[in-house]
Amino acid sequence: MIEIDNVDKHYGNLQVLSAVSMQFQDGEVTAILGPSGAGKSTLIRCINCLELISQGDIRVDGMSVLDKHRTAEIQKRTSMVFQHFNLYPHLTALGNITLAPTKVLRQSRAQAEAKAMELLKMVGLENKAKRYPAELSGGEQQRVGICRALAMNPRHLLLDEVTSAIDPEMTAEVLRVIEDLAGQGTTMILVTHEIEFARRVADRVAFMERGSLVAHQDADTFFNRQSDERIARFIDKMKH
């Protein structure tokens, strides 16, 4: 379980998160929606200890992000998929996926590679294992990015606008992989602008605006019985 407890985050005078409190239950898929600059990405980066929070607390399975000794363990339990992939350009797809498992989880090379091949097969890229990121399309790179995150056997998968840097015709292949994962009961928090996709996969939806959490509801209520006028307008606008 991930608990966000009254979190503030600011860069100098710029307030990016203000008094955000929410919980993410295990096995749930939560979509975080909201206009650009709402602080959605910042929030999940704070969960992964990539950014420090200014106030409040975040606990991942009971461990506080404020406790420096727990950072490594929290990062082991939460894997991130990045908007711009951030694959290691000097390593093959296989090398990208096996690096952290061999160095951080101390798996043997054979074990890590077997797992990596299994994951690549799942995303339909088993024949691209020896390719370098630059030899792959955006959609393929992001699928490798997802494999890299899953190879760590994370308890929580954090996806940061994973399709917004990909050509539209290739987003489908990435979304299909995420949808499969959602079906398998992986805990996911996904920041996205793909509202139709959120409707399909999310159990719960969090709506953020200007650094604040406006709503945190189950997906059915959020999409079908929305009482907040502003959110309803946002949903309507994003459909087109």
SS3 46: helix
Question: Does residue 87 bind another protein (CB under 8 A)?
Answer: yes
When the beta carbons of 59 and 148 are compared against another protein, the nearer one is 148
When the beta carbons of 148 and 216 are compared against another protein, the nearer one is 148
**Among 118, 135, 167, 218, interactor with another protein by CB under 8 A:** 135
**Least distance CB 89 / another protein (angstroms):** 4
For residues 38 and 231, the answer to whether their CB atoms sit within 8 Å is: no
DSSP type of residue 214: E
Position 65: which residue type? V
The C-alpha atoms of residue 24 and residue 78 are separated, in whole angstroms, by 12
Provide the token pair at 145: 């990015």
- Contacts with another protein in 141-170 (CB under 8 A)? 148-149, 152
**Among 34, 56, 133, 211, interactor with another protein by CB under 8 A:** 133
Of 24-32, 34-42, 95-103, 113-121, which segment contacts another protein by CB under 8 A?
Answer: 95-103
The C-alpha atoms of residue 147 and residue 142 are separated, in whole angstroms, by 9
DSSP string, 51-68: S--SEEEEEETTEETT-G
Residues at the site binding another protein, with contacts judged by CB under 8 A: 48-50, 72, 75-76, 78-80, 82, 84, 86-90, 99-100, 103-104, 132-135, 148-149, 152
